[in-house]
Structure 1
Amino acid sequence: MIRSVIAAAALLAFAVPLAAQDSDAAEPSYGEIGAATAPVADAYFAAYTSRDWDTLEPLLAENSSFHDPTATHVFGPVRSDGRAAMMERFRVGYAGISHMEFVTSRRMISADTAIYEGVLHWGLDIGGGTLVDTVTPMVIVLTIEDGKVVSHRDYVDYAPFIEAVRAAST
């Protein structure tokens, strides 16, 4: 008896939001939001991973933000708020990157959110003529509103990079 009540409650909890969404014609559906998100997110992702800043910039909202909380212990705080600050980070801060190639293992579009999971093949000039080449697991999470990227989050396993830096420094 209790199981059937719980099952009925769960069905009702899921049915109410879906029914409400279907009845409100002014609001876009989950599918419509995802269909609008995908081309913007994919274009931004392609521009980011190829370091094509001129293509990326118009895809950013004025109030956009970039954050890589996983970089703090490697590079210090990595956060930029606003399109101008993000573009400065990308154009100046990424200037030492010699190459980037993202190999996607999974892509997911969920309404206004796009998630790309894979590995990043990249090289970084760490100074003194030393180029560190590495492959790091990475997840990129983008949030899209009104056809623009409003939030970009990177999550990187920097352990392979740190090992490559150690190897290059010896």
Structure 2
Amino acid sequence: MNKQFAAILVALLVAAIPATATADDRFAAETAAMAPVADAYFEAYIRLDWDHLEPLLADDANFRDPTSALVFGGVGAEGKAAMMRKFRTAYTSLRQMGFTKKRIIHSGNFALYEGDLSWTVDMGDGRDVSSVTPIVIVLEVRGGKVVSHRDYVDYAPFLAAERATRPAKK
């Protein structure tokens, strides 16, 4: 009985090898196809270059920054048109953004960018607030287009910088 079990186990393992190779090939192909799209989108996003970012978005794409809820009331958009309106209008107060990379992960249909975001915001009252905040950006790419964009930001450094620029109370 042990010989039969061993024979069956060996047969199953041998049969699994082509399936694993196929999974490896599929993973490698998906990652290779996704990475240049995600990287181009990410670079355009950081440069605030909406004309280069827009064609990389799927029509049904969505954007969320769940970490902004307590700071900006939450930021999000459903669909390419809504995302582009959001970026082209709500982001006009951004004077600049820069990204210092800590880690970039390309995996299947997902790209993760972890680092520090340096950014300056026009507060609309004569003050510009500059800060460096830790950020993780997660993109999902399907069919050669970005379908999901998530920002996760530690807003504490921004809030501290904003407080420091407030006029002194008399």
TM-score per shorter chain, which class? Answer: 0.7 to 0.9
Q: Secondary structure at the match of 1:95?
A: helix
Question: One-letter code of the match for 2:97?
Answer: M
Cα contact 1:139–1:155 (8 A) shared by 2: yes
Matched, 1:30 2:27: yes
1:31-75 CA-to-partner distances (Å, cap 9, x unmatched) read: 000000100000000000000000000000000000000000000
Cα contact 1:21–1:29 (8 A) shared by 2: no
- Equivalents in 2 of 1:162, 1:57: separation in Å? 30
Map 1:1-170 → 2, pairs under 5 A = 19-20=18-19, 22=21, 29-170=26-167
1:70-97 CA-to-partner distances (Å, cap 9, x unmatched) read: 0000000211000011001111000000
Question: One-letter code of the match for 1:129?
Answer: G
- Equivalents in 1 of 2:113, 2:93: separation in Å? 23
Structure 2: give runs of 5+ residues left out of the alignment.
Answer: 1-11
Structure 1: give runs of 5+ residues left out of the alignment.
Answer: 1-11
Residue identity over aligned pairs, in percent, reads: 52
- Equivalents in 2 of 1:50, 1:133: separation in Å? 16
- Equivalents in 2 of 1:23, 1:87: separation in Å? 38
Residue 20 of structure 1: how far off its partner (Å) = 2.9
Q: Secondary structure at the match of 1:29?
A: helix
Q: Which has the larger radius of gyration?
A: 2
- Equivalents in 2 of 1:56, 1:76: separation in Å? 24
Q: Secondary structure at the match of 2:92?
A: coil
Cα contact 1:125–1:132 (8 A) shared by 2: yes
Question: One-letter code of the match for 1:91?
Answer: R
1:123-146 CA-to-partner distances (Å, cap 9, x unmatched) read: 001121100000000000000000
1:81-130 CA-to-partner distances (Å, cap 9, x unmatched) read: 00011001111000000010011110000100000000000000112110
- TM-score of the aligned structures, taking structure 2 as reference length: 0.86
Residue 19 of structure 1: how far off its partner (Å) = 4.4
